[in-house]
Amino acid sequence: MMRLMRDLYSPDAYDTAHLPDSWWAASAGDPPADEPLAADITADVAVIGGGFTGLSAALHLARDFGRRVVVLEAGPLGWGASGRNGGFCCTGASKLGWEALTRRYGAESAAAFFRAQWDGVGLVRQLAAEEGLDIEAQGRGEMLLAHKPNRLKELEAEQADLRRRFGQETDLVDVAGLAARGMAGPHFHGGLFVPGPFGVHPLRYTWSLARAARRHGAAVHGRSPVRAIEDAGAAGLRLVTPHGRVTAARVLIATNGYTRDGLHPGLAGRTLPVLSSILVTRPLTADELAAQGWHSGDLAADTRRLLHYFRLLPDGRFLFGGRGGTRTGAGVEVMHRRLERAFRAMFPAWQAVTVTHRWNGFVCLALDLHPHLAEVRGEGRLTCALAYHGAGVSTATWTGRAAAARMAGRPLHYGPVPDFIQRPPPRFPLPGLRLWGLRAAYLRYGLSDEWL
Ligand SMILES: Cc1cc2nc3c(=O)[nH]c(=O)nc-3n(C[C@H](O)[C@H](O)[C@H](O)COP(=O)(O)OP(=O)(O)OC[C@H]3O[C@@H](n4cnc5c(N)ncnc54)[C@H](O)[C@@H]3O)c2cc1C
């Protein structure tokens, strides 16, 4: 069943022996227990993947629908993107702009997706309050920073577009305004501030979501890679792990950027894992922050298509992340050096500041550039929830909840789910060449980011 197609990246990218050496792993405190599954058991729903999607689905299925749920995570809990991301709880899970979404699916569906995105941001805060989750929330919004003077015009157009389509209010900020907000930099030409998004400690969030799901009765097993999905006839599907099997009426695939083509033929060639990399500095002193003119704890990203995202963490460390790079293994070092050069160029006052942590991981793209919550191959027992395009803190949490409602047979329990995300992710043409397509796109983006 497994390994029908070769993985796109080298084996080290899938090595689940340890958590990545991230600042989050260094600062999250004690992990929850992650005993592997060690018996043959049954459940109403089995979930493959213990990130935000899988854990949110498990929590909601157990808490709100009284279902018996088992989560199987290949690595230690928090191993996937959920435990290693930038912690931006924001919107942006489709790479289609609002105009393109509207043209393709209609104004009503685009508006439903807009509402779902903001519902997702609110859901993280709501869950944290309801379940007492330790998420280390920080900041009041996200600043999109024009990396060239002409990008300010685009931000102005975006502001008008958001107001016209959805009545959303944002603030256009000039260079003096950026300095006043503690977001100064010699290469920023103004910005658009979107109120609402906030930062979280992603690994603490993941772990506390796992603990909450357990409190409500879900079984959550780490170090339990699913090696095969078998047909169990009237009993449903059987998931086979090295030391135990789960037979469940329904199965949720919540593996996002770590979905390997061999997991199930119905998903092979339908996702594109894309690298995102992060560095974190030592804590900056008050003088260093003043020298750069940066003291805001709000989220920030630039207007490049190969975007950089950054935030000052609660203890004064600076987190800086970016996309790009299509090679793991030896290629990782090149990618990290490029990221550090971009960081030092953008924040020249911090030339000599030590970088203490670097790591990377996979975000998940779909060919049609939006998330999916759908049956796999029209097989009612098997659902997938994935492809958040690098904005999964909120969207994976939201989609996990929507998956719970769907699998409990109450799809509208938490409100409407945009129709277009309920289609299966389309297969990439020539899936073996996905990374070549990505390289060509990066080349185009790099040129347009710097020369247009
Ligand atoms: C470096 C980086 C920075 C990011 N920054 C942000 C950000 O700031 N804001 C934001 O919103 N999003 C960000 N993202 C994206 C976000 O982290 C993801 O969209 C989100 O975590 C997806 O959650 P998930 O639960 O669907 O998948 P994941 O958290 O990736 O979990 C999938 C899990 O499935 C497991 N798995 C795979 N195969 C199997 C199997 N056969 N058996 C058992 N388990 C299996 C994997 O081990 C993995 O842990 C970032 C991602 C990365 C990598």
Nearest-atom number in ligand 1 for the CA of 278 is: 1
* Average pLDDT across the chain, whole number: 96
Domains of the chain by residue range: 11-86+202-271+368-434
277 DSSP assignment? E
CATH placement of domain 11-86+202-271+368-434: 3.50.50.60
Read off the pLDDT of residues 73-100 as tens digits, 9 standing for 90 and up: 999 999 999 999 999 999 999 999 999 9
Read off the pLDDT of residues 379-429 as tens digits, 9 standing for 90 and up: 889 999 999 999 999 999 999 999 999 999 999 999 999 999 999 999 999
Give the closest residue to 243 by CA, choosing from 255, 227, 263, 230.
227
CA angle 195, 199, 202 (to 5 degrees): 150
Q: How far is it between the farthest Cα atoms of the chain?
A: 67
Q: What is the layout of strands, in order, in the sheet containing 191-195?
A: 171-173, 191-195, 141-145, 299-302, 308-312, 318-323, 272-281, 355-365
Confidence bin at 8 (pLDDT 50/70/90): very high
What average pLDDT does this structure show over 325-339? Answer: 89
Pocket of ligand 1 (CB under 6 A): 16, 48-54, 72-75, 79-82, 84-88, 225-226, 254-258, 263, 276, 278, 321, 360-363, 386, 388, 390-393, 396
* Residues 28/201, Cβ–Cβ less than 8 Å: yes
Angular region, 313: left φ>0, alpha ψ -120 to 50, beta rest = beta
Q: Give the least confident one: 20-24, 57-61, 208-212, 447-451.
A: 447-451
Q: Ligand 1, atom 9: nearest CA belongs to which residue?
A: 88
- Does 32 have pLDDT greater than 50? yes
Q: How far does the centroid of ligand 1 lie from the alpha carbon of residue 74, in Å?
A: 12
Give the closest residue to 175 by CA, choosing from 141, 145, 140.
145
Q: Ligand 1, atom 31: nearest CA belongs to which residue?
A: 51
Read off the pLDDT of residues 350-369 as tens digits, 9 standing for 90 and up: 999 999 999 999 999 999 99
**What pLDDT score was predicted for residue 450?**
80
What's CA 71's distance to the chain center, in Å? 19
Q: How far is CA 27 from CA 131, 286, 307, in A?
A: 21, 21, 26
Radius of gyration of the chain (CA): 21
Is the pTM higher than 0.85?
Answer: yes
- Does 5 have pLDDT greater than 80? no
List the end-to-end C-alpha distance of the chain, in Å, as a whole number. Answer: 47
Q: How far does the centroid of ligand 1 lie from the alpha carbon of residue 3, in Å?
A: 20
Q: Report which of residues 321 and 328 the model is more confident about.
A: 321
Read off the pLDDT of residues 129-141 as tens digits, 9 standing for 90 and up: 999 999 999 999 9
Give the closest residue to 127 by CA, choosing from 397, 411, 410.
397
Confidence bin at 1 (pLDDT 50/70/90): very low
Classify each residue of 104-139 as buried b or exposed e, where b means 16 or more C-beta atoms within 10 Å of its C-beta.
ebeeebbbbbbebbbbbbebbbebbeebebbbbbbb
What average pLDDT does this structure show over 155-182? Answer: 98
